[in-house]
């Protein structure tokens, strides 16, 4: 279904402006706020977290995703000039031109923006997809319980479609070039604005046999092999395709080893690539390809007597993820001992205080939860599980500020998120960035500045949400949750198309039929049309009602959703009608 992007985005802006005006007067937050059920609902949180990926989608198919406010962007990535390619030799350029029928351009459209900016990194996309697949593999049934398995598959498929598109194979099936990054630090120098309007120069950065980054290409292996596992039953052909590229990339990453920087210094990889290769081997083994790797903990923080961890699971170091996955598969206590060491080395997951420090702390906190839940081995009463529960509960609102740092979950969340697409005016979100996990508090005292420029705390990113899924999927299986709670939020959120069906090519069209003797739904002031004036009339009513003024409602259709009440949900319904037109 093609969204009428221009109209919808214009209407969304008008409605958001009217809403923010009303909120300024009444002192409440955003009228699109929907109160969730009391208590922490892990199934709802897990399902909601996937919507962040839709908000960060890039390319020529964004028009068709589940969000009403996003549109196609950087479509010219589909014709990236080889003259603007960094890192390609003459032979690789010639091979790529031949593969593309002689064209001097390559199609690197699609994929996902990395964070609140609009650069695309195969490194972080690979890490995110691998982590999402890991959350699915180690927590069987969690996504089904959260009623979001189809959404997960859609995100994984769009990621891996892009990773395969940017990987070039020769006639023998061997990799000879990978476009690992699109755009660079110049993206950060642009005027703040939405990606749909950007037309700036976006160079491409390449990896070849003579100059490789094995950490990046190995992360791509894990993403593709992990996705192959997720699709093995629902789409075996796609699973095989992912495995074909995973095997080819593993050969490329392990044969032509290197650590070339193609991230313009934004993701500096100055450590070994051995951990990424080890994790890739595990994923291939899970799919019946090869054997388990031989890297084994030999002392605190050390593998095979020569490779050290001393960090958290993240895009730059995946030993903790490797150990957790190996312990899940083998039950070998050597991995459990290593997991315990690394967990304790970073402060663990206490049951009485939030473990946080510095930039993007929420992402690291969730990475620690993954290790703790791996050690819990399904025991909901273990100290490890209860510690992870406390940490996630803290992120979801059980904190000193009573604020959820997963946007859209609960009653209160940050309003000035460092995300140009959702917050183009830098004065508060024009669109609720549903499902995004922001960096959050920088310490256990819940120190947090709700300001778009405080990006250490207010920016979301692919790896943040991927780590959140690793934690939350485990909590779904341990403590449950009601996935249906998200239905009302989706129904009332103008940012989300409630009729969208994940994975379906043909989307249902909303009905707009009315009869002559019916009132026009949403026509608050009964003038025969539904427009922003109806939002203003209803907003004024709600303001006066809050001030307990006596109001005559006889000439107005304030009860838009016909539930016998006049409240904020009627305003939400009008917004939905405007966006669906």
Query: Lowest-confidence range among 179-188, 292-301, 572-581?
Result: 572-581
**The pLDDT of residue 532:** 57
Which pLDDT tens digit goes with each residue over 94-116?
999 999 999 999 999 999 999 99
Least confident of 306-315, 372-381, 527-536: 527-536
- Residues 295-319 have a mean pLDDT of 95
Mean pLDDT for the stretch of residues 458-466: 98
Mean pLDDT computed over 383-408: 98
SS (H, E, C) 421-490: CCCCCCCCCCCCCCCCEECCCCCCCCCCCCCCCCHHHHCECHHHHHHHHHHHHHHHHHHCCCCCHHHHHH
Among the ranges given (36-45, 468-477, 540-549), the one the predictor scored with the smallest mean pLDDT: 540-549
Q: pLDDT at position 27, please?
A: 27
pLDDT-wise least confident of 2-11, 76-85, 132-141, 222-231: 2-11
* Rounded average pLDDT over 462-471: 98
- The first and second tokens of residue 115, run together, are 């964070």
pLDDT band at 238 (very low <50, low <70, confident <90, very high): very high
Across 523-543, average pLDDT: 65
**For the residues 499-504, what does the mean pLDDT come to?**
87
Average pLDDT over residues 495-513: 67
Average pLDDT, the chain: 88
With residue 142 as reference, give the H or E element that holds it. Answer: helix 142-145
Range from 2-6, 195-199, 465-469 carrying the lowest mean pLDDT = 2-6
**Residue 15 pLDDT greater than 50, yes or no:** no
Q: Closest Cα to residue 355, out of 290, 310, 344, 61?
A: 344
What percent of the chain is predicted at pLDDT more than 70? 84
Kindly report which listed range (18-27, 406-415, 466-475) carries the lowest average pLDDT score: 18-27
Mean pLDDT, residues 493-520 taken together: 66
Q: Residue 316 has what DSSP assignment?
A: T
CATH topology of domain 8-32+521-581: Type 1 dockerin domain (1.10.1330)
State mean pLDDT over 458-483: 97
CA distance 88 to 105: 13
Mean per-residue pLDDT, 141-149: 97
CA proximity to 324, closest of 268, 371, 289: 371
* Token output for 490: 């989706």
Mean pLDDT throughout 143-151? 98
Check pLDDT > 90 for residue 477. Answer: yes
Look at residue 555 and tell me whether its pLDDT is greater than 70: no
Band (518; pLDDT cuts 50, 70, 90): low
Reference 51, options 432, 483, 415, 425; nearest CA is: 432
Report pTM: 0.84
Put residue 576 in one of left, alpha, beta given phi > 0 → left and psi -120 to 50 → alpha: alpha
What is the tens place of the pLDDT at every residue in 112-128?
999 999 999 999 999 99
Query: How far apart are the C-alpha atoms of 224 and 219, rounded to whole Å?
Result: 9
- pLDDT, tens only, 33-55: 323 334 899 999 999 999 999 99
429 touches 30 (CB < 8 A): yes
Domain 122-173+212-484: CATH architecture, name and number where available: Alpha/alpha barrel (1.50)
What is the structure's pLDDT at 554? 57
Report the percentage of the chain scoring pLDDT > 90.
76
Take residue 13 and report the two structure tokens written for it: 């802006």
Phi and psi torsions of 213, nearest 5°: -125, 100
Residue-level pLDDT at 531:
67
Q: What's the pLDDT at 354? A: 98
Q: For the chain, give every domain's residue range.
A: 8-32+521-581, 122-173+212-484
Cβ 481 vs Cβ 487: under 8 Å: no
Res 106: pLDDT = 97
pLDDT at 7: 43
pLDDT tens readout for residues 51-87:
999 999 999 999 999 999 999 999 999 999 999 999 9
pLDDT at 504 over 80: no
Positive or negative torsion for Cα 327, 328, 329, 332:
positive
pLDDT above 80 (res 270): no
Write out pLDDT tens, residues 335-380: 999 999 999 999 999 999 999 989 999 999 999 999 999 999 999 9
Run of H or E including 152: helix 149-165
> In this predicted structure, what is the pLDDT of residue 552?
52
Gap between the Cα atoms of 94 and 395, Å rounded: 51
- Between CA 285 and CA 296 the distance in angstroms is 16
């Amino acid at each position: 279904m093609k969204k009428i992007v221009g109209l919808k985005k214009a209407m969304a802006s008008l409605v958001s402006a009217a809403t923010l005006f009303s909120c300024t007067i009444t002192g409440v937050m955003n009228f699109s706020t929907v109160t969730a059920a009391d208590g922490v609902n892990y199934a709802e949180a897990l399902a909601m977290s996937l919507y962040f990926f839709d908000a960060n989608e890039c390319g020529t198919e964004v028009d068709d995703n589940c969000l009403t406010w996003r549109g196609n962007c950087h479509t010219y990535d589909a014709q990236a000039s080889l003259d603007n390619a960094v890192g390609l030799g003459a032979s690789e350029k010639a091979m790529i031109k031949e593969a593309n029928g002689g064209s001097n351009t390559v199609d690197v459209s699609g994929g996902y923006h990395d964070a609140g900016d609009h650069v695309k990194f195969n490194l972080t996309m690979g890490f995110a997809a691998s982590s999402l697949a890991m959350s699915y593999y180690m927590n069987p049934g969690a996504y089904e319980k959260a009623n979001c398995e189809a959404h997960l598959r859609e995100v994984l498929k769009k990621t891996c479609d892009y990773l395969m598109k940017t990987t070039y194979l020769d006639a023998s099936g061997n990799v000879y070039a990978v476009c690992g990054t699109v755009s660079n630090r110049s993206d950060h120098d642009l005027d703040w604005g939405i990606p749909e309007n950007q037309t700036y120069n976006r160079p491409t950065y390449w990896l070849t046999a003579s100059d490789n980054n094995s950490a990046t290409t190995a992360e791509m292996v894990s993403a593709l092999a992990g996705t192959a596992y997720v699709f093995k039953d629902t789409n075996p052909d796609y699973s095989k395709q992912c495995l074909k590229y995973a095997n080819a990339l593993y050969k490329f990453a392990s044969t032509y080893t290197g650590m070339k920087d193609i991230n313009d210094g934004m993701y500096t990889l100055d450590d070994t690539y051995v951990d990424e290769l080890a994790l890739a081997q595990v994923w291939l083994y899970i799919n019946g390809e090869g054997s388990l790797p031989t890297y084994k903990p030999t002392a605190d923080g050390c593998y095979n007597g020569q490779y050290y961890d001393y960090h958290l699971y993240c895009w730059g170091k995946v030993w903790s993820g490797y150990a957790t996955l190996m312990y899940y598969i083998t039950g070998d206590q050597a991995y459990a001992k290593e997991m315990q060491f690394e967990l304790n080395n970073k402060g663990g997951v206490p049951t009485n205080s939030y473990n946080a420090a510095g930039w993007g702390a929420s992402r690291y906190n969730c990475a620690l939860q993954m290790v703790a839940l791996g050690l819990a081995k399904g025991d909901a009463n273990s100290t490890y599980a209860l510690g992870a529960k406390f940490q996630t509960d803290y992120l979801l609102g059980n904190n000193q500020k009573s604020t959820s740092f997963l946007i859209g979950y609960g009653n209160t969340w940050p309003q000035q998120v460092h995300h140009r697409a959702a917050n183009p005016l830098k004065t508060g979100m024009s669109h609720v960035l549903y499902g995004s996990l922001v960096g959050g508090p920088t310490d256990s005292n819940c120190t947090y500045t709700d300001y778009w420029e405080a990006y250490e705390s207010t920016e979301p990113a692919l790896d943040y949400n991927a780590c959140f899924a690793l934690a939350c999927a485990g909590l779904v299986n341990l403590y449950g949750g009601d996935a249906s709670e998200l239905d009302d939020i989706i129904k009332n959120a103008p940012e989300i198309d409630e009729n969208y069906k994940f994975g379906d090519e043909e989307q249902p069209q909303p009905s707009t039929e009315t009869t002559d003797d019916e009132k026009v739904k949403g026509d608050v002031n009964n003038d025969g049309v539904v427009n922003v004036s109806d939002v203003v009339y209803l907003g004024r009513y709600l303001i006066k009602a809050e001030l307990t003024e006596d109001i005559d409602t006889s000439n107005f259709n304030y009860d838009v959703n016909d539930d016998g009440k006049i409240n904020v949900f009627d305003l939400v319904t009008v917004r939905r009608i405007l966006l669906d037109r």
